[in-house]
Structure 1
Amino acid sequence: MAHLLGAEALHLEVPTKTVFDSVTLGVAEGDRIGIVGRNGDGKSSLLMMLAGRREPDSGKVTMRGGTTIGVLDQADVFDDGETVGHAIVGDRPEHEWAGDARTRDVIAGLVSDLPWDAPVDALSGGQRRRVALARLLSGDYDVLFLDEPTNHLDVEGITWLADHLRRRWPRGQGALLVVTHDRWFLDEICTTTWEVHDRIVEPFEGGYAAYILQRVERDRQAATIEQKRQNLAKKELAWLRRGAPARTAKPKFRIDAANELIADVPEIRDRVSLQSMAVARLGKEVVNLLDAGVSYGDRVVLEDIEWRLAPGERTGILGVNGAGKSTLLGLISGTVEPTSGEVKRGKTVKVATLTQRLDELEEHLKEPVRTVIARLRTSFTVGSGSKAQELTPGQLLERMGFTSAQLSTPVKDLSGGQKRRLQLLLILLNQPNVLILDEPTNDLDTDMLAAMEDLLDSWPGTLIVVSHDRYFLERVTDQQYAILDHGLRHLPGGVDEYLKLRAAQDRAAASAATGGTAAGAAGGAPGSGGSSSAAAAAASGLSGAERRTAEKELSAVERRMQKLQQLIVQTRDGLATMDQANFELLNAEMSKITAAEAEVAELEERWFELTEQLG
């Protein structure tokens, strides 16, 4: 693969520590690299040095001549008064950007719901993020550097982005480097993982799952080496004390395959024990929503919600922004009263909510971490039954990634991720039996997410989670529900089923709006008539005539596929009644089946192309 850029002997220091020391690495055509590591270890700094946005203290970054680079920063910066349309396509004429398939796809995937002439300054953080992504992805670059691209995106947005990046370049072309804590996203798009730690960058093959397996093996080998070193030291001490050492057999360590690394690991959660403990703490009744609904004037948010939360239940909630997730959480916690139906709560229910804000820390900003924790409780129990373990506040903090030195640090001086972890610990130490987590993964790196998941595994209560982090949601919950059309729908198929339902909703909406979209596509420049031509490009990129032609072709493709499938079935059935000694006839019939199957495969590809065009 052709070399695109490389770094040689990079050295970087900040006032309190050395971030990188003599780091050398390269990026080639076709690389899809995910960068992981603890917060503060230098992931973003590495990305910006490679992108030419930050100068190293020593060393150099070289680049192949003519290589174009696109960068997405964590901060989304726009010109004052800039509109959505101008931020994405700039001063390009409408016929130029509307005729570009990539630009139309990006607009449809990220900003189809935003008015084309809306000022970016008036948008929410999530909407600004989508505009920044659309601005970058509509360009043509050899290398993309993405710093936390999934921040503020919902599950659908993250899924679209992963799909776009997978098919953005042909195989073996272009390069992508991404810093993200979204482990599902890493697994979907990355073929290489770089771990930033201890002033170095260590490469691993594969996405997040493959990286974890390799890291476990690396840590196992390191532990073995350290154990051998300690054993040698003990033997040396015995020599000094007793003379010649006795002969001892050396222990042997071997792992046949990566699966053996986890062969003897117990289940993630002991559900039976946790649910029995939850029943003991909660009783059989937790929170029951009985035909509950919430309306604000004429606007219906939720209606006819029938949901009985069970002790120890672990549920994830999905839904687009504005669907009513926060309202549903408010019904459970008691901060929102239903306008129809009723909500019943068990007598022993104690609800706590980990919000997206850090309100729990406001009164403790000047206090050291150790003081804040010790004031609440002297111990905390994790695990259940014979595996129950009492931890001191210091041990609990250490389990969540706090060092001894950080225990004396004032809360106001902690990083965003450290404050988030401390917020969760404060809530758990208050011993709630119903815990609501509202986007709990913000500001946490992958290692700290794993530590949070491990802590929640031993928590015996009812857990409700709202998160755009698909990996976290599926990891800590046992079932998922979606808010669709003001109601609550169970998702036996999990996040995949939710995405299919949402895609079906979007297709239905696009089909209902076809007439208006076609009319809007006929005239109006971006920014002049609201979202007329922009909406048409965003919805499908097709004029009315083009859409009708595509729909006719789609119908013809479906009919042809159905006929071919019938032909294949009939021919296979006929083979059973033929003279098996007539090889010429058998070969002719098999050739007919092979040709029909090949044509079906081609038609299926065309069917997917047409359905994507039609939205």
Structure 2
Amino acid sequence: MAHLLGAEGLHLEFPTKVVFDSITLGLEEGDRIGIVGRNGDGKSSLLAMLAGRMTPDAGRVTMRAGTRIGVLDQADTLDDSLTIAQSVVGGVPEHEWAGDARVRDVIRGLLADLDWDAPVAGLSGGQRRRVALAALLVGEWDIVALDEPTNHLDVEAITWLAGHLKKRWPANAGALLVVTHDRWFLDEVCTETWEVHDRIVEPFEGGYAAYILQRVERDRMAAATEAKRQNLARKELAWLRRGAPARTSKPKFRIDAANALIADEPPVRDSVSLQSLAVSRLGKDVVDLIDAGLTYGEREVLRDVEWRIAPGERTGILGVNGAGKSTLLGLVSGAVAPTAGRIKRGKTVRVRTLTQRLDELTEVWRDPVRTVIAGLRTSYTFGTGSKAQELTPGQLLERLGFSSAQLSTPVKDLSGGQQRRLQLLLVLLDQPNVLILDEPTNDMDTDMLAAIEDLLDSWPGTLLVVSHDRYFLERVTDQQYAILPGADGVGRLRHLPGGVDEYLTLRSALSSRSSSERSETRPGESPPGVSASPALDGAARRTAEKEASSLERRIEKLTAQIDAAKHSLADHAQSDYAGLAEKMTDITALEDEVAELELRWFDLTEQLG
């Protein structure tokens, strides 16, 4: 493979810290490299030096003559005086950029729902991120360098970006450098991982799953001070091998070695014990949403939400931005009152929400961390049975990555990730039995996300999570729901037996139907490659309408059976493991049937238009 870029003897230091000490690296054609490491260890600085955005204190970066490098900064660099069109394609005439298949694909993949002529100044954070990505990706680059590209993106946009990068260049052409904490994205796109730590850059073969395996092997031979990191990595590897087998098909992931390492590792969660403890803390009733709906002014956001939340339930919520996820969680927590239907709450329910804002820290913004935790509970119990542990707030802070020196730091001077961890600690120490996490992974590095997941594995309550981080969502929850629009455009809650993959399939079907409708309304303006489904008429249309109606009734009936079956789990003897397993098998079979029926229903509604 041809050489593209080289770094020799790079040294970088700030007034209080040496970041890199004489590192040497190379980038070849075909490389797809993910850069990971703890926050503050220099990932973004490394990317900036390699891209020519930062000058090292010593050493040099060389690039093959004529090499073009495109960079996505972590900061927002869009010009508010421009429109979306001007930001993405500049002054290039439409007949030129519209004839470029890559430009059309980028616009369709990232900006299909935005007004092409709208000003950038009025866009949300997520929309601005998509515009910045599109502006980069429409260009011709030999090297693409991305700094936290998934920030503010939803699951669909992240999935599209991964697919685009995988097919952007031929196998042995171009090169990718990406700094991200999104572990699903790393595993999907990267064939090599660079870990930044202790002033060095250590290369590992393969994506995130293979990197975890190799790091466990490295940590087994490391000093005793690495023991804690090793245990978390081993636990995560166990989940990667047991809970997500598709990931282990990545090249160079040594399955036999992985199996040997996790032979004695228990499952990441003792679900039966956790559910038993949750029932004892919560009782049989948690929160029931019965035909609930919500209307803001003239806009109906949610309709006919039927959701009976069980004790110990661990559920992820999916949906596009603006679909009503935060509204749904507000109905559960009581922060939002329904305008239709009713909500029933158990008498012992204590709901706490970890919001995207830092509400819990407002009153202690200028206080040192030590002062903040001094007035909290003297101990916190987590885990079950013989594995139950009593930790002081200080010990819990240490488990969440705080050093003793940071205890004297004012809250306002902590990094964004440290503030999020302190916020989570304050929420947990309030001892809720229903915990709602709204985008909890912001500003977290991969090691800290593993520590948070480890903590949540032992938390005995009902957990509801909204997150665009697919890996985190699948790791800490046992099932997923989505808010999807019905035929009338109003959001409805739908269970996803097939998880995130099913959600993406359903969203793709909805997007195709919307594109077809736009094509019929404004001929010639639908995204390239998208066409309307063939029209039905006469007997064929009546047959399709009849089948769709029958499917709706069947789905509604099965969904009611699933809800009732899950609700009955609370009445089942928790010691009857065989009985519980049989009930869960029955529920899974019903959920699989619903998933198949839903996909057929979407096919029919596309044809009916």
Q: Does TM, normalized by the shorter one, top 0.5?
A: yes
The answer to whether structure 1 residue 420 and structure 2 residue 408 are counterparts is: no
User: Alpha-carbon deviations, 1:499-547, whole Å to 9, x = none?
Assistant: 000000011111122123325x4xxxxxxxxxxxxxx4xx2268xxxx6
Deviation at 1:383, TM superposition (A): 1.1
Cα distance in 1 for residues equivalent to 2:132 and 2:225: 47
CA contact (8 A) 2:78 2:128 kept: no
Deviation at 1:78, TM superposition (A): 2.1
Cα distance in 2 for residues equivalent to 1:109 and 1:195: 30
Q: Which residue of 2 aligns with 1:151?
A: 151
Report which stretch shifted further, 376-385 or 196-205.
376-385
User: Alpha-carbon deviations, 1:138-157, whole Å to 9, x = none?
Assistant: 00000000000000000000
TM-score (norm 2): 0.81
Compared CA separation, residues 272 and 225, structure 1 to 2 (3 A): closer
CA contact (8 A) 2:288 2:343 kept: yes
Q: 1:540 is matched by which residue type in structure 2?
A: P
* 1:416-565 equivalent positions in 2, closer than 5 A: 416-485=416-485, 486-519=491-524, 521=525, 536=526, 539-540=527-528
Compared CA separation, residues 135 and 551, structure 1 to 2 (3 A): farther
Q: Which residue of 1 aligns with 2:56?
A: 56
* 1:100-111 equivalent positions in 2, closer than 5 A: 100-111=100-111
Deviation at 1:258, TM superposition (A): 2.7
Cα distance in 2 for residues equivalent to 1:32 and 1:339: 50
Q: CA RMSD in A?
A: 1.8
Q: 2:454 is matched by which residue type in structure 1?
A: D
* 1:303-322 equivalent positions in 2, closer than 5 A: 303-322=303-322
Cα distance in 2 for residues equivalent to 1:453 and 1:376: 23
Compared CA separation, residues 75 and 224, structure 1 to 2 (3 A): closer
Compared CA separation, residues 386 and 224, structure 1 to 2 (3 A): closer
Deviation at 1:79, TM superposition (A): 2.4
Report which stretch shifted further, 367-376 or 343-352.
367-376
Gaps of 5+ in 2: 228-254, 486-490, 536-609
Cα distance in 1 for residues equivalent to 2:521 and 2:225: 69
Cα distance in 2 for residues equivalent to 1:22 and 1:112: 45
* 1:134-533 equivalent positions in 2, closer than 5 A: 134-223=134-223, 257-485=257-485, 486-519=491-524, 521=525
Task: Find the residue that maps to 2:347 and give its secondary structure.
Answer: coil
Q: 2:29 is matched by which residue type in structure 1?
A: E
Task: Find the residue that maps to 1:177 and give its secondary structure.
Answer: strand
CA contact (8 A) 2:143 2:175 kept: yes
Deviation at 1:80, TM superposition (A): 3.7
Task: Find the residue that maps to 1:518 and give its secondary structure.
Answer: coil
Deviation at 1:392, TM superposition (A): 1.2
CA contact (8 A) 1:98 1:541 kept: no
Q: 1:162 is matched by which residue type in structure 2?
A: A
Deviation at 1:118, TM superposition (A): 0.7
Deviation at 1:274, TM superposition (A): 0.8
User: Alpha-carbon deviations, 1:32-52, whole Å to 9, x = none?
Assistant: 000000000000000000000
Cα distance in 2 for residues equivalent to 1:14 and 1:413: 18
Q: 2:47 is matched by which residue type in structure 1?
A: L
Cα distance in 2 for residues equivalent to 1:61 and 1:356: 39
Q: 2:315 is matched by which residue type in structure 1?
A: T
Task: Find the residue that maps to 1:376 and give its secondary structure.
Answer: coil
Report which stretch shifted further, 113-122 or 506-515.
506-515
Q: Which residue of 2 aligns with 1:574?
A: none
Q: Which residue of 2 aligns with 1:115?
A: 115
Bigger Rg, which one: 1
Q: 2:188 is matched by which residue type in structure 1?
A: E
Cα distance in 2 for residues equivalent to 1:134 and 1:328: 31
User: Alpha-carbon deviations, 1:163-214, whole Å to 9, x = none?
Assistant: 0000000110000000000000000000000000000000000000000000
Cα distance in 2 for residues equivalent to 1:169 and 1:342: 53
Report which stretch shifted further, 124-133 or 367-376.
367-376
Deviation at 1:269, TM superposition (A): 0.6
Q: Which residue of 2 aligns with 1:98?
A: 98
Gaps of 5+ in 1: 228-254, 522-535, 553-615
Cα distance in 2 for residues equivalent to 1:101 and 1:312: 49
Deviation at 1:54, TM superposition (A): 0.2
Deviation at 1:275, TM superposition (A): 0.8
Q: Which residue of 2 aligns with 1:595?
A: none
Q: 1:453 is matched by which residue type in structure 2?
A: E
User: Alpha-carbon deviations, 1:365-385, whole Å to 9, x = none?
Assistant: 121112212311111112111
Task: Find the residue that maps to 1:394 and give its secondary structure.
Answer: helix
CA contact (8 A) 1:104 1:541 kept: no
Cα distance in 2 for residues equivalent to 1:419 and 1:3: 42
Cα distance in 2 for residues equivalent to 1:190 and 1:333: 39
CA contact (8 A) 2:376 2:393 kept: no
Deviation at 1:257, TM superposition (A): 2.0
Task: Find the residue that maps to 1:513 and give its secondary structure.
Answer: helix
CA contact (8 A) 1:370 1:393 kept: no
Deviation at 1:440, TM superposition (A): 0.2
